[in-house]
Chains A and B, each alone.
Chain A
Amino acid sequence: MLLVLFIIAHMAGNLHVFEGRESMNDYAHGLRTFGAPLLPHESLLWVMRIGLIAAAAAHIASSVVLTRRAVEARPVRYVSRKPAKGESRHAAATMRWGALVVLLFVVWHLLDLTFRTVNPVKDLPDAYGAVVEGFAPERWPVTVFYLIAVLALGFHLRHGVWSAVQTIAGPNNKWRKRTQVIALAVAVIVTAGFAIVPLAVTFGLVS
């Protein structure tokens, strides 16, 4: 829940890039100085960081438990296998390795646009510049990796959102179908919203 809300907020925040350098950098600055002078510098960010790390740790830990149980529950594998036939089957089939892609991406993403270790723009307050230089056409492999990860994230949400509701709330048939539609909408909006920024930069719409 926390992670999904964060993803949506993060995506919405990214769209500031379309309002120009000033708006984007103001937004980034605003996140750091939220509540100032009442609250210390970066207090909002630290609350979010701690919350997100805790949520991600719990999320990964339970997925490891489930995966280990699944492996133990089928010690001998089938010789012949058929493609999946369940609900949101493509998304369900990519939950585990798609998650690995997203995890690797998060590491890269932090090094790239948060710490700027691998980004040409080292000037931290210039978030806009880092995005524009980071997704410059000659850095196209970065953009491709980003797009693959965002797609994997979309698939993860497509199954994950309704699956979480199914497990926690236990809806009837009608509500299950509804949450599946919501999950699809969340997945499509998040994927499109994240993908549009690097694409716009690479194709020169934002510079």
Chain B
Amino acid sequence: MKLKLRIWRQPNPEAKGKMVSYVLDDVSEDASFLEMLDVLNEQLIADGEDPVAFDHDCREGICGACSLVIDGQPHGPQAATTTCQLHMRKFRDGDIIDIEPWRAGAFPVVKDLVVDRTAFDRIIAAGGYISAPTGTAPDAHAAPIPKQDADAAFSAAACIGCGACVAACPNGSGMLFMAAKVTHLGLMPQCQPERATRVLGMVAEHDAAGFGGCTNTGECASACPKEIGLDVIGRLNRDFRKAAARAA
């Protein structure tokens, strides 16, 4: 299939950046979206041009590195799918595809489509951990956990920290990411000692990092490749209210 790509090119963080058009004549339907970009980059290198920089690692939908806004949608048109798991058969011959980086003040562009997501690491460092001693894995069922809680924690733990929620949010809020962590940890008995300080610390760091405030538009959940829902935000709000009341 023949495609016209319009890609955000920005040589460095300070540069202004702009959309640049490229034409690919012979793209396989079976190629993944990233493989399609690999083909483009080979062509650019052969022409002596600078290849397009984009983040990727596992290419199997589990690491959260890939991060492209495709036609205005983080991770593209297919629901519950990361960019690396999106295939070109979702597009049609002759399509014009816009590719942009995550857009958030807290995620500055490093180069082209690569953004710096260390703001997420700072939120984790501000509370997204537990202080239980590590060592060999504990015996299965040593700590009894209701099946419902285990399932809910597991769904929240599916968050790969890609940042699509921020990219999709009209407020540029990182609420869904933060709430997924608060939920997955908050449901486990080993994670209770830090439950109050966790939510307060993470929210403070989130706001300080320059993410926007949540207005419950739900765009995050619809963009999430791991289908994390607004219930985790409800849980974060509940935890926050209790923790803030106790701290006051």
Name A's B-contacting residues (CB within 8 A).
65-66, 69-70, 72-82, 84-89, 92-93, 95, 159, 162-163, 166-173, 175-176
**B: contact size bracket:** 35 or more
206-245 of chain B: CB within 8 A of chain A: 210-223, 229-231, 233-241
Q: Which residue of A lies closest to B212 (CB)?
A: A73
Contacts of A92 in B (CB 8 A): 215-218
> Across the interface, which residues of A come within 8 angstroms of B17, CB to CB?
76
- Complex alpha-carbon distance, A167 and B171, angstroms: 15
Interface residues of B in 61-92 (CB under 8 A from A): 69, 71-73
Q: Mark B12-53, 1 if CB is under 8 A from A, else 0.
A: 000001010000000000000000000000000000000000
List chain A residues, Cβ under 8 A from B105: 72-75
Cβ of B9 within 8 Å of any chain A Cβ, yes or no, is no
Q: Is B100 an interface residue (CB 8 A)?
A: yes
B19 x A73 contact (CB < 8 A): no
Tell whether, in the assembled complex, residue B210 and residue A95 are in contact, meaning their CB atoms are under 8 Å apart. no
Cβ of A73 and Cβ of B210 under 8 Å apart? yes
Does B98 touch A at the CB level, under 8 Å? yes
Q: Name 24 A/B residue pairs within 8 A (Cβ), A-sorted.
A: A66-B171, A69-B171, A70-B171, A73-B104, A73-B173, A73-B210, A73-B211, A76-B109, A77-B103, A79-B8, A81-B72, A84-B217, A87-B218, A87-B230, A89-B217, A92-B216, A92-B217, A93-B170, A166-B230, A166-B234, A167-B214, A172-B231, A172-B234, A176-B230
The answer to whether the Cβ of B128 comes within 8 Å of any Cβ in the partner chain is no
Candidates B213, B219, B235; contact of A84 at CB < 8 Å: B219
Q: Which residues of B contact A159 (CB under 8 A)?
A: 216
- Going nearest first, the 10 A-B pairs with the smallest beta carbon separation are A86-B218, A73-B172, A170-B238, A170-B237, A73-B212, A80-B98, A82-B72, A87-B218, A70-B171, A85-B222
Partner of B241 from the list A76, A78, A170, A175 (CB cut-off 8 Å) is A170
Q: Which residues of A contact B223 (CB under 8 A)?
A: 85
**A70 cross-chain contacts in B, Cβ below 8 A:** 170-173, 212-213, 215
Most chain B Cβ neighbours within 10 Å, of A162, A168, A170: A170
Please give the distance in Å from B76's CB to the nearest CB on chain A.
Answer: 10
CA distance A168 to B238 in the complex (A): 7
| B106 on the A face (CB < 8 A) | yes
Chain A nearest CB: distance from B32 CB in Å?
21
Contact A166 B229 (CB under 8 A): no
Partner of B219, one of A74, A79, A85: A85
Complex CA–CA separation, A166 to B236 (angstroms) = 10
How far apart are the CA atoms of A92 and B214 in the complex, in Å? 12
Q: Are B215 and A163 in contact (CB under 8 A)?
A: yes
Tell me if B241 and A82 are in contact (CB < 8 A).
no
List residues of chain A with CB within 8 A of the CB of B210. 72-73
Q: How far is the CB of A156 from chain B (nearest CB, A)?
A: 12
Collect the chain A residues with CB atoms within 8 Å of residue B231's CB: 172-173, 176
Q: Which residues of A contact B213 (CB under 8 A)?
A: 65-66, 69-70
How many angstroms between the C-alpha atoms of A172 and B215 in the bound complex?
17
- A85→B214 CA distance, assembly (Å): 16
Residue of B nearest to A73 (CB): B172
The answer to whether A82 touches B73, judged by C-beta atoms less than 8 angstroms apart, is yes
The answer on a CB contact under 8 Å between B218 and A89 is yes
> B97 to nearest A CB, angstroms?
9
Residue in A79, A84, A176 whose CB lies within 8 Å of B234:
A176
Q: Mask for B165-181, Cβ within 8 A of A = 1, else 0?
A: 00000111100000000
What chain A residues lie within 8 Å of B71 (beta carbons)?
A: 80, 82
Complex CA distance for A65 and B215, rounded to whole angstroms: 12
Nearest CB in chain A: distance from B62 CB, A: 24
Residue of A72, A78, A163, A171 touching B69 (CB-CB under 8 A): A78
Asked, given contacts A73-B172, A166-B234, A170-B237, whether A79 binds B100 with beta carbons under 8 Å apart, the answer is yes
